[in-house]
Structure 1
Amino acid sequence: MNPPPAEPRWLQRLPPVLRRLWPASDTERRASWTLAGSFLIRVSNLGLRFGVAVLLARLLGPEEYGGYSFALAVIMVLAIPVQLGLPRLVERETARAQAQANWGLIRLLWGWAFRVILGFSVLLSLACLLLLYLAPQLLPPGAAALVAPGLLLVPLFALGAVRAAALRGLRRVISGQLPDAVVLPLVLLAALLVLTAFGSLNARDAMLAHVAAAAVAFVLGALLLHRARPGELRQATTADTRPAGWLGAAFTLALVAGLQLVNNQADILMLGYLRSSAEVGVYRVAASAAVLTLLGLQVVNTVISPWITRLYTQDRRAELCSLVTRASRIIFAISLPVALVFMVWAEPLLEFCFGEPYRSGATALRLLTLAQVVNFLAGPVGNLLTMSGHERVTLLGVIVATVVNVLLNLLFIPRYGVEGAALASALSIVTWNTLLWWQTRRVLGIDASPAGWHTR
């Protein structure tokens, strides 16, 4: 067994309390550097997305911004089924094959995933266009005119997700995030500013700008993946046979991803059908603000995903437990201050950033923020279960949370509107995280919360 690496001299001079904050293993050190870069990317992403949301909310107004948000939610729901769970499978199996130096299997996996998703996404987009042409009344008034051009986003989102997963599986976490997290919202923000400078902006223009930005991000991502391929992968021949377990795992992961998206978008979709577009716009603003509390969770999940698979595959349990505990504490430290700000200053923040009409979303923002506190206190439970091969356990949690969300939205939205949608989503988030935290302890013997009590 190799001796642990010596601590740097500057670290040895620090007090013991500060020295314990330094990562103890090479795995944690590498993950920490990646975490720092991912944090900068995620902060940039949140800032850019927030800028886009503020610009659209102010220029379009609650009614038209609500219509745009509803159409985008429809497109996001369509983009998940065409992925068939393959992004998660590609990330996990790429990390596993790289740990085993099975380069031919990676080539087979990537080619198969890209072909399947491209074919299915094109077919689904054409079918939806035909359906919109024959029965536009299936959507609320005006929504079909926004969804139709937005269908171009379906293959771009789906193929981009697989490309990002391939890069993350190779532990190129920064490259995997850059196109979608920074380039897409940056190009979208620039396009919206240009359109605004040359005339008034409407929801259809915003949707077309989103398509153009996604296309630019996709091309850049493809170039990054081409450059990131290891030399061994370039020279390897494609494996002859596909492992039988891929299809079953992909199906389960597809259900997990699909239900997660339904769970995330059910509030906006049902609010759009049951209440007015203006209420959708107010709720969208509150939900977008509440997502800022997930900064730590999103950054850490992206960084540790390939490491979870690698450490679990190599049976390095002590390092895995240490990594998960440290990750949960980082999530807690980043997310708690943001949550406290939203709980105390919800009304003035919404009015200052988005305008006076959105101030009414303060109660919804507080409810969603409270739910996200439970989310980051539970730790990266869904990610830990999925990347260690226990996706069926994750599926159970998603099914329960989705059923709870849909039923509560049906119960609360007609009576309470925006606040009802927020309450339903908040209870769904709490249900999901509580169930998966318990299942993580039961199945893996790991407490993924900041407390880090590992049972075996």
Structure 2
Amino acid sequence: MSVARSSSKLFVVSVLNSGIGFLAVAVFARELGPAGIGAFFLFQALFRVLESGIDLGLNTAIEKRLSEGASRETVLGSGIALKFVGFCGVAALILAVRGPVNAFVGVPVAGLLVVTVGSSQLATIATTTLRGELRVGETAVLFLANQVVYVALGAVFVFGFGLGPVGLVYGVVGGSLVSFLWGVSKLDTRPVLPSAASVRSLLSYTKYNVVPALGVQIHNWTDVLIVGFILTQADVGAYEVAWRVAAVTLLFPSALGVSLLPQASALSARGDRDRVGDLVSGALFPAVALVIPAAFGTLVLSEELLRVLFGPEYVTAGLALIVLVAGKVPEAVQIVVGRVLLGIDRPDLVARATIVATVLNVGLNLAFIPRYGLVGAAVATTLAFTVGMALRAWYLRGEVTYRVPTGDLLRVTAVSTVMVGVLVVARSALGVTGVVELAAVVLLGIGTFGAGVAVVPRLRSQAVAYGRELRSG
């Protein structure tokens, strides 16, 4: 399956997932309030960071080795064995510090944290194996099932049983288990007993990829954890809601990045570095083409988005939202260049960039949050991520030759600027006080951007060409 076709399938499902998740967060945030939803977000932060302590780069290593095609059954068995050892260590750590964990989150969830990490690892094994079999597009239904079950069970436990944040945790566990069972039923590869050679092969890749794998989670959750330590659970709730809104802009870049690694890996294994460079050149523009107008639109509508969709208590994160969405532009680029570096077997280069960005991220958050609050967290994370992106792009330039579509990016920026002017006038004329007015202004902005793309010949040809690739992929 081509990068265009598999990434488009993931993008469609990502849109559905995001729509479902966005609606769920809005409903749950209103029901639980900033402090209640903040407790759940803190739980998620701990869960994701601890889960990365099991992964340590193994997910990408398994995907990489499976995509190479040799001894898939043994590779999978070895990967599962390594993951089980990691899970036992993390579970023991959680139980040893369950008191501080419960105090930090504000809810007694240490035991549930162990269950959540375990169920998520099971789901990850299924999706990682499908990716390694070069069936990336087929993982889409697993992500959708996971999301639907999480939201449905969460709603039952929150509204039906009044369990608050704990009810959402039950939903997360249920979604992971359904995703795992469904995924296993689709796999062609069945694990066999691990071998020393396969373990060594996985660890040889993981020893460099461990840093990027940890770095992703540290980037995603460092600011939330530090906000939780320094500020309040209500601040965590407001900030993470802004983060979730900003994350919507990365739906397509994320789907594209997932598809890039196995394709780059297969090309690199055949020694075809020129086609790897073409892969990067072709992916950079579509990765950021929708993020740029989203960043411009947020300049106008950040407070309206938070107030109308989540409630007036969340408007305190309005400026942070603007910064976070702007930061998704370099993040979209990093997704492309970082996944390709991993695909061509250079996790060491990604590790170097990740170390620099991670240290910068932690340091800036500790420096900025006490002084500037939520905006400080957003600025710190965005600056750190921009540095990490620049380093990855530089390193990839030394491995393959690729082209940065500067002209196309400037054209998209110009169209987005026109869109902003239309949004400012529309917001002033309509007065965004409810969902109907907000939807009308957003749709007007989307229509304006689409019309601008259609008017500019180069952008129109790019859109048509990519559409043809999707149909023929």
TM-score, normalised with respect to structure 1: 0.83
Cα-to-partner distance string for 1:183-235 (whole Å, 9 max, x where unaligned): 1111111112323452435111221222122222221122222xx34xxx89x
Q: Name the residue aligned to 1:248.
A: 204
Query: Following TM superposition, by how much is the alpha carbon of 1:447 offset from its aligned partner in structure 2, in angstroms?
Result: 4.4
Give the structure 1 partner of residue 63 of structure 2. 91
Q: Verify the 8 A CA contact 1:378 1:449 in the aligned structure 2.
A: no
* Cα distance change of structure 1 residues 142 and 74 upon mapping to structure 2, 3 Å threshold: closer
How far apart are the structure 2 equivalents of 1:237 and 1:67? 41
How many residue pairs get matched? 408
Q: 2:119 matched to which residue of 1?
A: 156
Equivalent residue letter for 1:164: T
Pick one of 38, 42, 51 that aligns with 1:70.
42
- Partner SS state of residue 162, structure 2: coil
* Residue of 205, 208, 221 corresponding to 2:183: 221
Please show how residues 260-275 of structure 1 align to structure 2 within 5 Å: 260-275=216-231
- The question of whether the paired residues in 2 share the 8 Å contact of 1:375 and 1:429 is answered with yes
Tell me the SS of whatever aligns to 2:214. helix
Deviations 1:393-441 (A, max 9, x none): 0001111011111111111111111111111111111111111111111
Amino acid at match of 1:435: L
Contact map agreement 1:74 1:147 (CA 8 A) in 2? no
Q: Does 1:32 align with 2:7?
A: no
Indicate whether 1:45 and 2:1 are aligned.
no
In 1, Cα distance between the equivalents of 2:244 and 2:59?
A: 24
Offset at residue 271 of structure 1 (A): 0.5
CA RMSD of aligned residues (A): 2.4
Mapped to 2, the partners of 1:274 and 1:240 lie a distance apart of 46
In the TM superposition, what whole-angstrom CA distance separates every residue of 1:359-390 from its partner, at most 9, and x where no partner exists?
Answer: 11110011111111222355611111111111
Partner of 1:294: 250
Percent identity between matched residues is 24
78-87 or 46-55, which moves further after superposition?
Answer: 46-55
The whole-number CA distance in structure 1 between the counterparts of 2:19 and 2:163 is: 21
Tell me how far 1:150 sits from its aligned partner: 2.5
Shift of 1:123: 3.8
Distance 2:128 2:285 in 1: 25
* Correspondence for 2:322: 366
For the pair 1:61 / 2:68, whether they are aligned, the reply is no
Q: Distance in 1 between matches of 2:348 and 2:259?
A: 23
Q: Select 2:173's aligned residue among 211, 215, 219.
A: 211
Corresponding residue for residue 147 of structure 2? 185
Which of 360, 375, 379 is the matching residue for 2:331? 375
Q: What CA distance in whole angstroms lies between the structure 2 residues aligned with 1:142 and 1:239?
A: 40
The alignment status of 1:146 with 2:109, answered yes or no, reads yes
For structure 2, the 5+ residue unaligned runs are 409-473
More displaced 10-residue stretch of structure 1: 374-383 or 302-311: 374-383
Change beyond 3 A, Cα 1:239–1:327: same
Amino acid at match of 1:92: K
| Cα contact 1:65–1:281 (8 A) shared by 2 | yes
Partner of 2:356: 400
Distance change in 2, residues 1:430/1:357 (3 Å): same
The answer on whether the counterparts of 1:440 and 1:447 sit within 8 Å (CA) in structure 2 is no
C-alpha displacement of 1:451: 6.8
Residues 242 and 194 of structure 1, relative CA distance in 2, 3 Å threshold = closer
Q: Does 1:441 align with 2:407?
A: no
Give the Cα–Cα distance (whole angstroms) in 2 for the partners of residues 237 and 271 of structure 1: 44
Q: Determine if contact 2:258/2:339 at 8 Å carries over to the other structure.
A: no
Asked if 2 retains the 8 angstrom alpha-carbon contact of 1:71 and 1:147, the reply is no
Report the alpha carbon displacement of residue 32 of structure 1 after superposing the two structures with TM.
2.3
* Amino acid corresponding to residue 222 of structure 1 in structure 2: V
- Report SS of the residue matched to 1:445: coil
Alpha-carbon contact 1:272-1:280 (below 8 Å) kept = yes
- Secondary structure of 1:80's aligned partner: helix
Structure 1 residues 321 and 74 mapped into 2: Cα distance closer, same or farther (>3 Å)? same
Instruction: Return the alpha-carbon distance in structure 2 between the equivalents of residues 341 and 281 of structure 1.
Output: 23
1:237 positional shift: 11
Give 1:48 deviation, angstroms: 2.0
Is structure 2 residue 309 aligned with structure 1 residue 343? no
Mapped to 2, the partners of 1:70 and 1:286 lie a distance apart of 15
Deviation at 1:321, TM superposition (A): 2.2
Counterparts of residues 123-142 of structure 1 (less than 5 Å): 123-132=89-98, 136-137=99-100, 140-142=103-105
The answer to whether residue 238 in structure 2 is matched with residue 282 in structure 1 is yes
Judged with a 3 Å threshold, the aligned counterparts in structure 2 of structure 1 residues 143 and 352 are, in CA distance, closer, same or farther, namely: same
- d(CA) in 1 for partners of 2:402, 2:378: 31
Change (3 A) 1:137 1:324: closer
Secondary structure (helix, strand or coil) at the match of 1:443 reads coil
1:425 pairs with 359, 378, 381, which one? 381
Q: Which amino acid in structure 2 is aligned with residue 143 of structure 1?
A: G
Instruction: State the secondary structure of the residue aligned to 1:389.
Output: coil
* 1:91, distance to aligned residue in structure 2 (A): 0.9
Take 1:109 and 1:447, find their aligned partners in 2: how far apart are those partners? Answer: 35
* Other-structure match for 1:79: 51
User: Which amino acid counterpart does residue 313 of structure 2 have in structure 1?
Assistant: P
Map of 2:156 onto structure 1: 194
CA distance in 2: counterparts of 1:60 and 1:343, whole angstroms = 28
Change (3 A) 1:212 1:244: closer
Q: Once the 2 structures are TM-superposed, how far is the Cα of residue 158 of structure 1 from its aligned partner?
A: 2.3
Alignment check: 8 A CA contact 1:110 1:166 kept: yes
Deviation of 1:161 after TM superposition, in Å, equals 2.1
Contact 1:41–1:178 (CA<8 Å) still a contact in 2?
Answer: yes
- Structure 1 residues 207, 302: CA separation in 2 closer, same or farther (over 3 Å shift)? same
Shift of 1:317: 2.9
Give the equivalent residue in structure 2 for 1:390. 346
